[in-house]
Each structure stands twice: as structure tokens, then as C-alpha cells.
Amino acid sequence: MRILLKILLVLSSIYSFGQDDFERHFEKLETADTLTDSKVIAYYQSKSQFKNDDFFIYDGTLINRLLDNSFLFKKNKAGFIIYKLPFQNSTEIVFSKNENYLLKKVEYRSSARQIRGTSKEQIIIDLNNLSYIGLFTYNSVQSWEFDDEENMIVYNSACKSLMNIEDDFLTVHTLCYENDNFRNECEECISTGIYVIKGDILRKVKSYSERNLSMNDIEWIDSFCLGMSIDEFLRTNDKEVQEIPLFAYGYDSEEMGYEIINNDLRQYFLVVKEKEIVSVFVMSPEIDIHGINTSWTINEILKRYPDLKLHIDLITHWEYVFLKDQSLRLIFKTDSSNRIGIYGNDFEEGSIGLKEENKTIDLIQVVGKGSN
């Protein structure tokens, strides 16, 4: 009798640290103490295995404190400030290429009925901002089941991420290994891409395309990007959210999207399919997309892009121009009574002239894959 379902349930309960977030946040190191006594400082330095002129790391128990951990001693004008590190020993800690960051791997092991696994977390210590972040860079699972004849079938799957930091960019390359398509362990490691570190934020700015084997820029709009899950967006968003049917924005669908409002002003509308943001309509003039915002007139657009033509949408009857290279649709919410374009006998051929030059953009749609 097969018991694969039970194994999958165990897997999901043990390994729940998904790494698909496009934006993560560093956490501040906890201050443990301050130290000015030169003799005590010299004692801790003598026990340190990792040090330079500005800091050193000590493993053990602080004098007069019931703390057994790794500690960062960071120099200041009066002496040293002591910070508690998120691990208990400093073995194998190294500098990244950018020596403002320290790297430390921490290993975890888990086991349950008919399954065992190992995972490794790469902890990044930001020495300037005195903060840290943990990223899972290795996950290996071995599980087994018995077929109807009581023969054991073993499954192995794993992912491994290689990373480095140069300047303030984190480059990640993740490899996946599995047999019989048992489980895609790549979901448990940070995904391949390039991430930028800005203050306490780690943001993905390039993703890897398996189709053309290259890194592609990620289009960030405000604090989100296409491809981000709506759950991640809602978890980090601090603005008002209203559910609005997609047909209000020209889709032949009664499913719901999300209108984002800030200070009683609509900023943008998110189109979501299978819990992923696939397109966005921007209406706020404060948000630029490729240097264009909704304060632009049709005349300004055609001066920059003289070969463009206006078209009429068959569902909404609004007019629009499409910038193919930027995947942008610039929308003017007109109807038959106030057209800004002049059209010939076949309006599907696009405009042949312009009769209203000062009409501003109503909506900028960033068109993503699967957004139509």
C-alpha cells in the first residue's frame, strides 16, 4: 500500500521556509553590552579567532552575563559596543568580496517517519548597519515509500545556492537536483538572480530566464513588481486596498483585482492571476514608468515616439498607444463623443491624425506575461 501522501504531508510541515520573496528585510543586531575597560577588551580579543582593527568576534560567555553565544565587538570612540549574533559559534565565518559584509553558514537537520533532511542557512552580517539576514542556500531531502509488493522506493531531492556580494549587489546561482520529479526543492532555496542591498532591504532586481539563459531586469513599481505574489504584496503594503472587479479595467472577467489607495487618492490597480501580480494600471502622476507618468499629454508622447498610432480597445472603447519595447499601454478613457484621434474607414488600422493634443494619460498599464 502506498503512503506517498503521508510523506508529502510530513514534508510540508517540516520544510516551510519558502524563498520566493522578491523583497526581504535585514533585522537589527541586538545590543548586549558596552565595554570601555581596556584589560577586559584585551581578554576578549585574545580569545577571538576573527578580528580586524574595527571589530572582533568572540565565542562564549560574557563576564557577569548568562549569555553563551557569538558576539560582535564593534569599536566606537569610547571603547566597544557588543552585539549578540544570530549563531553560537563563529567557525567558518568569512568576508564577502565586499568586506562590509560577513557570511556565516548554519546547518539544521530534521527527521520524521520515512523522511530525513538537511538545510543550510547563509547568514549575512552587515557591519555598517549592524543588521543581519538569513537566506536558505541548501536543502536536501531523502524520503521513501513501499509499493504494493513491499519494495522500498527511495527519493532524493536537493537544491544548492552559490552566492557572493560585490559592492552592494548579491548574486545568487541556485542548482536543483531531483529524481522521478518527486519534489522541486528549488522552492526551498533562494532563487537565482541579482539582488541589491539598500539599507535594511534586500530587493531582487534581476531574475534568471531559462528560455534565453540570461538575467532579465525586474520592473519595480512603487514597492512591488510583476511576478510578486499578492500575499507578499499584502504582507508588506501599508496603503488602503479595495477589491475591484477586473471588468472595471477592461477585462472580460468578473474576477477581482486590487485597487491601491493612498491619502484617499487611487495610485494603481493590480491584476492578479493564480495569486501572482501579472499586470498593473498606474493612475498616480507621482509614479514614473520608464520616465512617463499620467501628467503626459498625447502630444508629448507622439513627440517622443512619432511612429505611434492611437488605437481603440474593442472591449472598453478607450483609446490607447502601445510601447512594445517597454511593454506599456498608455490609455485615454475616451468614447465616441470625445475621441482624440482621427480614424479612417477601418479604425483597426489605427489613427491617421490627432484632433486633441492636450489630453493627458488616464492609465499606464504595465503589461506582463499572462495579463491579457
Per residue in 268-294, pLDDT (tens digit) is 999 999 999 999 999 999 999 999 999
pLDDT of amino acid 141: 82
pLDDT digits (tens, 9 = 90+) for 344-370: 988 889 999 999 999 999 999 998 765
Mean pLDDT computed over 293-314? 95
pLDDT recorded at residue 176: 82
What's the confidence (pLDDT) of residue 178? 65
In sign, the C-alpha dihedral spanning 31, 37, 38, 43 is negative
CA angle 227, 232, 248 (to 5 degrees): 65
pLDDT at 143 over 60: yes
pLDDT tens string 162-199: 999 999 999 999 988 766 545 555 678 898 999 999 99
Residue 219 has pLDDT above 80, yes or no: yes
What CATH architecture does domain 224-372 belong to? Answer: Sandwich (2.60)
Q: What angle do CA 313, 314, 320 make, to 5 degrees?
A: 5
- Residues in contact with 192: Cβ distance below 8 Å, sequence separation at least 6, in sequence order: 161, 172, 173, 174, 207, 208
Which pLDDT band holds residue 64 (cuts at 50, 70, 90)?
low
Say if residue 72's pLDDT is above 90: yes
Q: First CA to last CA across the chain, in angstroms?
A: 45
Is it the case that residue 90 has pLDDT exceeding 90?
A: no
Quote the pLDDT of residue 156: 77
pLDDT cut 70: percent of the chain above it: 90
Domain with CATH 2.60.460 in the chain: 224-372
Average pLDDT of the chain?
A: 86
Closest CA to 135 of 190, 179, 186: 190
Cell (9 digits) for 358: 492636450
User: Global pTM?
Assistant: 0.79
What b-and-e string marks burial along 112-126, b requiring 16 or more CB atoms within 10 Å of the CB?
Answer: eebbebebbbbbbbb
pLDDT of residue 344: 92
